[in-house]
Amino acid sequence: MAYQIGSACVSCGACADVCPVGAISQGDSSYVIDANACLDCGSCSDACPNGAISPAD
């Protein structure tokens, strides 16, 4: 179960900076998580100042 970035993302990059495998990159309007690379560690969710990252359903 990978994490996902919701609409509250303001593209600050805090999540990308803490991802241990580089699974997060800048998308068209916000950052995106590569579900195949995500380790489900939750580091990105903890680092997000807006609470925009949550486990995918």
Number of domains forming the structure of the chain? 1
pLDDT in tens, 23-47: 999 999 999 999 999 999 999 999 9
Q: Which domain holds residue 39?
A: 3-55
Task: Report in angstroms the alpha-carbon separations of 51 from 7, 45, 46.
Answer: 10, 7, 8
Helix (H) / strand (E) element for 43: namely helix 43-47
Alpha carbons 15 and 23: distance in angstroms, whole number: 10
Pairing label, strands 24-26, 31-33: antiparallel
- Give backbone dihedrals phi and psi of 20, rounded to 5 degrees, phi first: -70, -15
This prediction has a pTM of 0.90
pLDDT for 57 = 80
Whichever domain contains 44, its CATH number is 3.30.70.20
